[in-house]
Structure 1
Amino acid sequence: MSTSALSNPHVFDATADTFEAEVLQASLQAPVLVDFWAEWCGPCKALGPILEKLATEYNGAFRLAKVDVDKEQQLAAAFQVRSIPTVYLVKDGQLVDGFPGALPEGQLREFLQHHGVTPAAASEDAPVEAEAPPAPPADPHAEVMRLRKAIEAEPDKSEHKLDLALALLQTGNAREAEQHLDGLPANLAQDARAIRARAQLGFASLLQDAPAPQVLEAAIAANPDDLRARHLLGVHRIVAGDAEAGLEQFLEMLRRNRQYEDGLPRKALLDAFQVVGDEDLVGRYRRRMASLLLV
């Protein structure tokens, strides 16, 4: 048993035998954050104390389940954990979201807040700020022209270059977008939008020499198990901005053969979640992915 599980009432070690009761059933009462870790993992040692600190601070608003992947290989395989640390959020008996790697404390708080998890002591007193309505989407071509002029006027303002890269991606100009991303300073290169843009570039690169969508649709109609065609069609849809159609193709791949090309269906979904800006849509497909993985 880990030291943290002994000293913190909100942290416990989860096993394959106890997972159903202590994680899935218990999450009907309070969300459970599941931390897949190992003793030899350096990033795990950085992330673990932060998660345990938050579990204490949030005072029961969520519980932290620690899963040692060396001891619980069955659980790690069930969740298709390929790198550690990996963290999943289980809520109302379902896996609803997750992330790989060691996030900083601020992003962990944002992750919890996004799923309605706030410190128990502050949940009733915290003021609720009204959210401004979202601005209507700008025409990407007009936005490219506007941002080019902004860069001419303020050439040292790197934020304009990031915004231009994002607008260029929407117009299909991946090569110039990549050039602007490569020129970003270190702080902006780690911005969530820049990371999302990099992921989108990765999708665009998959379409080099790829068949047209109509050809791929015909291939799938002839053979629904043509997962290569489904993957490329899903990428086409994501890059073209039809996120739901792309996610649906990746989900169908997962349903038909989750082990295809060393877990490509799951990887395609996770990569797409970084690209798609619609949080509600991503949340819905994360839940559908989780339900398939837990079968």
Structure 2
Amino acid sequence: MQPRNMSMSGVVDLAAVKAAGEAKAKAEQARAEAARQAGQGGGSGPAAGAVPPSALVIDVDEAAFERDVLQLSAEVPVVLDFWAEWCEPCKQLSPLLERLTVQANGRLVLAKVDVDANQMLMQQFGIQGIPAVFAVVAGQVLPLFQGVAPEQQIRETLAQLIQVAEERFGIIGIEVDPNAEAVATDAAEAEVPAGPYDALLEAAVVALDAGDLGGAVQAYKNVLADDPTNSEAKLGLAQAELLARVQHMNPQAVRAAAAENPRDPAAQIAAADLDLVGGHVEDAFGRLVDTVRVTFGEERDSVRLRLLEMFEVIGADDPRVTAARTALARVLF
């Protein structure tokens, strides 16, 4: 079977499979339970928090599809490998996908679907032949390719998938602990030494408490310059920059401008910042999703990026972020 074009366009709504807007807290609870069961000899899905490399490749069925694919896709892109034991091309492709997934180090999860045991999923995805490979990001399906393709082509497709997840949805994957499968030791009880960035992070907090927003922003940026994935610094920077933006705003003027110019990205972004600072999280998210819907090009991108920054402020685990990511996906595609 010849591989089809590996295009990242053509997102398919998964409503026919299952609604993807479930709260992420529910996903965390379900996977935590799965992890507990796995520790007792059952369960296959990734657990909450850091996972061993082996947990990046899972077998999934219709019963667990919502938990192990839809809900998980709010945290990490999930690649679906539809295969069967009798399929010779599948035996070539599946090991390659497994190896590339592990090499991605938590930026992908591979979910293997045996079509013989999951005929309903095969029908819902409209699969005419196997192997067939899809991806799910923030509850949305991306058809990747069908048949066996060269390794380099698959590498490029997966890299593009990771880029789409990060840039459009702010999904950066899950933490992988390469030592998680080793025999447990008493090291966890030892005193934890200070991290390399503790002093800078503490300086940022002190600056925030003192109202020195510029100093806090710079301190967080100093950490991220050396460690771009530092989650504490990313969260702190997003919060400090938000406070700095609204510090000198005139709320009445900002809201009046937003009401008079519903298609003006700058006006809507400023009003959304005020919404967020005031604790109106869903209003802020909804305002920017609506603005993405009616804007194009660079203007749309500026609104999308601000929305992703707001996700950092609230935190990826918040169910309102999960819902907003799903809404954003719908208007983008």
TM-score (norm 1): 0.49
TM-score (norm 2): 0.45
* Higher RCO (Cα < 8 Å, 6 or more apart): 2
